[in-house]
Structure 1
Amino acid sequence: MRPEILNNGYGFGAKALFAIVRIVSRRSLPDAAKLTFYRPDFYGSPAKEFTHQAMRGPSAWSVGERELMAAYVSKQNESPFCVGAHTSTAAQALGDEPMVAGVLSDLDTAPIAEPLRATLRMLGKLTREHTVDADDMRELRSQGVTRAQIEDALAVCFAFNVTNRLADAFDFSMLTPAGFDSGAAVLLKRGYH
């Protein structure tokens, strides 16, 4: 059940920004963006900064690979809004919609490099079982995944396990495919700030 305060609990500045976005883009601001304006000191600002660093900060993983991780974690959590948003963003970033769809439908047969497959497998396990162990890390390292890449992937996993739960708890409104594509273009241009 969507709390009414998320529809109306914003100050004048946020409401004005939402109206400007609606006029310029001809679309309402997605609920994921609106949530960061509700109690920005408690959740919004820290979450935006952490997510931006995880998704756009320096990393050996490309932006597209990190967006694919976000989509994969969201798929494991069965979070429809986040699956739609990050599937579209990953497909645009990687320029390969069939590959992204392949990863989300069958990771074992998807046409991706083994280090990325092993990393996604570990993120899936962590998301579903809430645990990983030394053997999981050894498997990643044997596939050529560096310690820094593991840390970066875990940051993406954390960000989207939190975001998925919020999206589902607050009943984020689903967008049309065109809405997800438009949002993806903005995410790729501006990041998560």
Structure 2
Amino acid sequence: MFRRLLLLTLLLTLTGCAYLQRMRQEAIATKETSQTAGAKLLRAPADWGDLARDVAYRLSQRASQLSLGDRLVYVAEPAQPTPFALALRQYLQSNLSEQGVAVAQRRSETSLVLEADVQSVKLASGLQIVVTTALGNGARYLFRGTEAYAVNQADVKLYDASLLPPPPPPPAPPSVTKQMTVTGSL
């Protein structure tokens, strides 16, 4: 009888703890959702691939309408090399290839250029980023899309270029030295 009572008490305690943990997680999610003011929430880096997949799909649909022929698409290096921007470029290259778009390894005169511009916007509720992807031929845009995303505050350093460490200083120039041989005795 005592063992059953002890087991029941333990079971109720564990159930209560699990319930409280779930309620805490829901409250955090609700708070994050209210802070994003309608913007999608990026959870680094799990959602980055989804973002790139969506862009690659829309771009491949547009490319099929334009009949690009054999034109290659070069995904440009990011202007601000944040961890997010660098990973987004890799995701875009992979996802465009998966969608059947011919992706160039290097930029050429004839390749179309896909740029992914990431801007961070500091708000009272936290950081949001604006991601603009644009495919152009040098004269005009063939595809362009802009989306806003909220960012988990713990992940801000992955998105905001102002939080990146400064680049290392250039190496010091080699010092000029001259060797002389001294002979004789004192």
TM-score, normalised relative to structure 1: 0.30
Q: Which has the higher helix share?
A: 1
Larger-gyration structure (1/2):
2
- With CA pairs under 8 Å and 6+ residues apart, which has the higher RCO, 1 or 2? 1
TM-score, normalised relative to structure 2: 0.31
Q: Which has the higher strand share?
A: 2
